[in-house]
Structure 1
Amino acid sequence: MRASRLVSLLLLLQNRGRMTAAELAAELDVSARTVYRDVESLLAAGIPIYGEPGHDGGYALVDGYRTRLTGLTAGEAEALFLAGLPGPAADLGLGSLLTAAELKLEAALPTDLRQQARRLRERFHLDAPGWYQRAERVPHLPEVAAAVWQRQALQVRYRRWQEPTRVERRLEPYGIVLKAGRWYLVAAADGAAPRTYRISQILDLRLLDEHVVPPAGFDLAGYWRQHTHQLQERLWQGRAEIRISPAGVDRLREIAVPAVLDAVAAGTADDATGWRRAVIPIESLTHAEGELLRLGAQVEVLAPAALRDRIAATARELAAVYG
């Protein structure tokens, strides 16, 4: 375990340059004290590491030094092949490059690791789009990806849901995200804060001869986590009090989002039959009516009265249709 960590520390310094003890500790999931001990061990083994004190200091390798300790373990080789995304890579126009890279990697592996990688590829497959959804047509994805890669501004004509539905935007692209089979561009419009644009809604675009520099410290993964959290927070427009049967809870696990499941789990037992009483978040009365009707008689809405009345009216209409 420690030998593997020493190699990882060495490769981090080789690939990233100067790093502080705190940064190395975070990457290796150890304490700073452990990093100090590991650096001393590498120095004792003859690895030319030097440290600089101060706020901008840290550890670094002597210029020109490179280790050859880059052999892959079985687990690392499996992880690399499992990380291959042929569908998304093809969407980005990188399918042939990915295939070539995999072939080169496979050829460089020892026989036993090559066979393991092949078995893994035979037994695991990633299907990114959600169930019962057609794959999106994203004709401008390669151009958007090129703009992101080259840090080049874009002029786009974009379709959105609110009026006016078609707008012109000058975008500074920071990154691309693939979420549940849908591609999104994270970009700033005319120097404003970054926002998310669905790439399939770009009607046409033109690359501009303008270089883009993302804000210092911008982290795409961190931005996306914050964006999705805010989106979920804005999603819930109200609350509904319900009674739900054990069968309803089982069915809810198949159709509900985590926030609703957590709310039901935090509820209380209503009677000896196992029914539960809970307050769940809802998007709107219309959305909640459709979702709760999927549970049939296994759920009863107690409040708000408007939602209860809507479901009761629908139930009467269904009874009239079915006699």
Structure 2
Amino acid sequence: MRASRLLSLVLLLQDRGRLTAHQLAAELDVSVRTVYRDIEALGAAGVPVYAELGAGGGYQLVDGYRTRLTGLTPQEAGAILLAGVPEAAAELGLGAVLTTAELKLRASLPARLARHVDEIRDRFHLDAAGWFRETETHPHLTALAGAVWNRRRARMRYRRHRAPHEVDRLIDPLGIVLKAGVWYFVARVDGSARTYRVATILDLTVLDETFERPEGFDLASTWAEWAIDFERRLHRGVATVRFSPAGLERIPYLMTRAMARDVSSGVGSPDPDGWTTITLPIESVRHAHAEFLRLGADVEVLEPTELRDMMRASATAMTHLYG
């Protein structure tokens, strides 16, 4: 661990020039005292690092010195995949590994390409988290990621909606997916692949027993198939509704993706009042009621009757409330 940190320290100085002890401590997530000890160790090992005293001072390498110890370890090479989502890497327990891998890559680049990397980073940023969502806690995510990587069988207790609400499962963890800021994982259970939300795990024990991954298993295609099937199973009913022109414009921002997709593909000609009638998939009457209320007076439910009655009751109650 210390050897990796010493290399990271050298690469930081090589990449950024002069840095203070406090800056190095912040980058390496260690104390300033540890930085002092590491600088001494580097000097004893023959690395030409020296200190500039006074305002604007700090540690730096002798001009022209470049380390060639920039080969990536297998774990660092794998972490490069998460370079665009450092928060996700940190949640998986790979934050420090990713930082070291990026430093090694930059150290191996000519100065012109290193500057180009900085320019791209200044212009593009990927934020994978969804809007307006409380951050979930994932105390078992790092252990789960280790089980996936090492092909270790695990025993988990998780929470689900239907009874019994707490269930034990023996699982073969096959892969982890980050979808719109929410962590999921795919595991083989009783011979078939199933998908779970990481936040539902109540307890996880990684076993010593290993397993063989299914031949031909592809995480991306498995996830895509599950997502399509999940959406299809989720929307079990339909509703016929009228949208005002303003309501149609707000749909992509307020409705579910399945609803928005059907609106974009099924919009017909507006009626004389400018309103458009569309049949949409709904998860349930209660769920659709909450969705359509977001559009206020820019939507009218025609069918089913139960949903229309619920909308009417809500409108009446709001009229009484606001006078």
Query: Could you state the TM-score of these two structures normalised by the residue count of structure 1?
Result: 0.71
Retained in 1: the 8 A contact 2:82–2:88?
no
Return closer, same or farther for 1:143/1:110 CA change in 2, 3 Å cut-off. Answer: same
Retained in 1: the 8 A contact 2:85–2:128?
no
What residue is the counterpart of 1:294 in the other structure? 294
Q: Deviations over 1:103-136 (max 9, x none)?
A: 1101111111101111222333222221111222
What residue is the counterpart of 1:309 in the other structure? 309
Q: What is the aligned-residue identity percentage?
A: 47
Q: Using the alignment, how far apart are the partners of 1:273 and 1:138 within structure 2?
A: 51
Q: Using the alignment, how far apart are the partners of 2:179 and 2:298 within structure 1?
A: 33
Aligned to 1:268, the other structure's residue is in SS state: coil
Q: Deviations over 1:261-299 (max 9, x none)?
A: 333341322423321111111111111111111111111
Q: Using the alignment, how far apart are the partners of 2:199 and 2:160 within structure 1?
A: 11
Q: Deviations over 1:195-226 (max 9, x none)?
A: 01222222222221211112111111110000
Retained in 1: the 8 A contact 2:175–2:185?
yes
Q: Using the alignment, how far apart are the partners of 2:270 and 2:117 within structure 1?
A: 53
Q: Using the alignment, how far apart are the partners of 1:287 and 1:297 within structure 2?
A: 18
Aligned-partner residue type, residue 94 of structure 2? L
Q: Using the alignment, how far apart are the partners of 1:160 and 1:92 within structure 2?
A: 23
Q: Using the alignment, how far apart are the partners of 1:301 and 1:155 within structure 2?
A: 47
Q: Using the alignment, how far apart are the partners of 2:161 and 2:306 within structure 1?
A: 27
Retained in 1: the 8 A contact 2:184–2:198?
yes
What residue is the counterpart of 2:205 in the other structure? 206
The 5 Å alignment of 1:182-201 reads: 182-189=182-189, 191-201=190-200
Task: Quote how far apart the aligned CAs of 1:232 are.
Answer: 0.5
Q: Deviations over 1:87-111 (max 9, x none)?
A: 1111111111111110110111111
What residue is the counterpart of 2:63 in the other structure? none
What residue is the counterpart of 2:153 in the other structure? 153
Aligned-partner residue type, residue 192 of structure 2? A
Q: Using the alignment, how far apart are the partners of 1:259 and 1:144 within structure 2?
A: 31
| Root-mean-square deviation (Å) | 1.7
Aligned-partner residue type, residue 251 of structure 2? L
What residue is the counterpart of 1:177 in the other structure? 177
Return closer, same or farther for 1:186/1:285 CA change in 2, 3 Å cut-off. Answer: same
Return closer, same or farther for 1:81/1:107 CA change in 2, 3 Å cut-off. Answer: farther
The 5 Å alignment of 1:37-186 reads: 83-186=83-186
Query: Could you state the TM-score of these two structures normalised by the residue count of structure 2?
Result: 0.71
Q: How many residues align?
A: 243
For the pair 1:280 / 2:280, whether they are aligned, the reply is yes
Task: Quote how far apart the aligned CAs of 1:193 are.
Answer: 0.6
* Structure 2 alignment gaps of length 5 or more: 1-79
Q: Using the alignment, how far apart are the partners of 1:286 and 1:183 within structure 2?
A: 27
Aligned to 1:178, the other structure's residue is in SS state: strand
The 5 Å alignment of 1:233-272 reads: 233-265=232-264, 266-272=266-272
Retained in 2: the 8 A contact 1:81–1:117?
no
Aligned-partner residue type, residue 264 of structure 1? V
Q: Using the alignment, how far apart are the partners of 1:235 and 1:141 within structure 2?
A: 26
Aligned-partner residue type, residue 209 of structure 1? D
* Structure 1 alignment gaps of length 5 or more: 1-79
Task: Quote how far apart the aligned CAs of 1:82 are.
Answer: 8.9
Retained in 2: the 8 A contact 1:173–1:212?
no
For the pair 1:221 / 2:208, whether they are aligned, the reply is no
Return closer, same or farther for 1:237/1:209 CA change in 2, 3 Å cut-off. Answer: same
